[in-house]
């Protein structure tokens, strides 16, 4: 098993990140990613740029971490768009794999954004589609 540093050394452009804001949510989302049910995600646009994370870009490979910091999966970005919270649609929600419908997505993400810097229905979101390149838990994709 390769260490996180070995993976970063081999992929110097890669960013590292964790899904969610708790261990339970991180584990749930990683299970959906590994199963192929989750092929998209979104985040508040405000976390990117000056002093924040680097915005995903098509073709870049990033490393999603287990909650404890171990490498979980390498993802390759296949699409990046932005939209307002109020403009989210059923198709993108379905690609996120976590929600039964748009209403559940709205409720869940409103709570998430309130916990993580504030919420407004007009807030801008970074919407990313990705594919799994490698599962560091043992199976290559």
Q: Is the pLDDT of residue 56 over 80?
A: yes
- Residue 50, pLDDT > 90, answer no
- CA–CA dist 111, 138 (Å, integer): 34
Tens digit of each residue's pLDDT (9 = 90 or more) over 82-104:
999 999 999 999 999 999 999 99
Query: Could you give the domains of the chain?
Result: 4-135 (3.10.400.10)
**Stretch 8-36: mean pLDDT:** 95
Count other Cβ atoms within 10 Å, centred on residue 78: 14
Residues whose CB falls within 8 Å of the CB of residue 95, separated by 6 or more in sequence, listed in order: 38, 39, 40, 129
Average model confidence (pLDDT) across the chain: 94
């Amino acid at each position: 098993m390769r260490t996180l540093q070995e993976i970063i050394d081999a992929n110097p452009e890669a960013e590292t990140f964790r899904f969610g804001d708790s261990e339970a949510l991180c584990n749930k989302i990683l299970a959906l990613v590994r199963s192929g049910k989750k092929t998209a995600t979104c985040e508040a646009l405000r976390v990117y740029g000056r002093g924040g994370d680097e915005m995903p870009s098509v073709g870049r490979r990033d490393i999603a971490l287990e909650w404890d910091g171990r490498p979980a999966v390498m993802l390759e970005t296949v699409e990046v768009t932005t939209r307002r919270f109020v403009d989210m649609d059923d198709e993108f929600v379905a690609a996120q794999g976590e929600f039964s419908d748009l209403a559940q997505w709205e409720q869940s993400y409103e709570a998430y954004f309130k916990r993580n810097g504030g919420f407004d229905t007009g807030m801008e979101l970074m919407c990313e589609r990705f594919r799994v390149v490698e599962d560091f838990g043992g199976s290559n994709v």
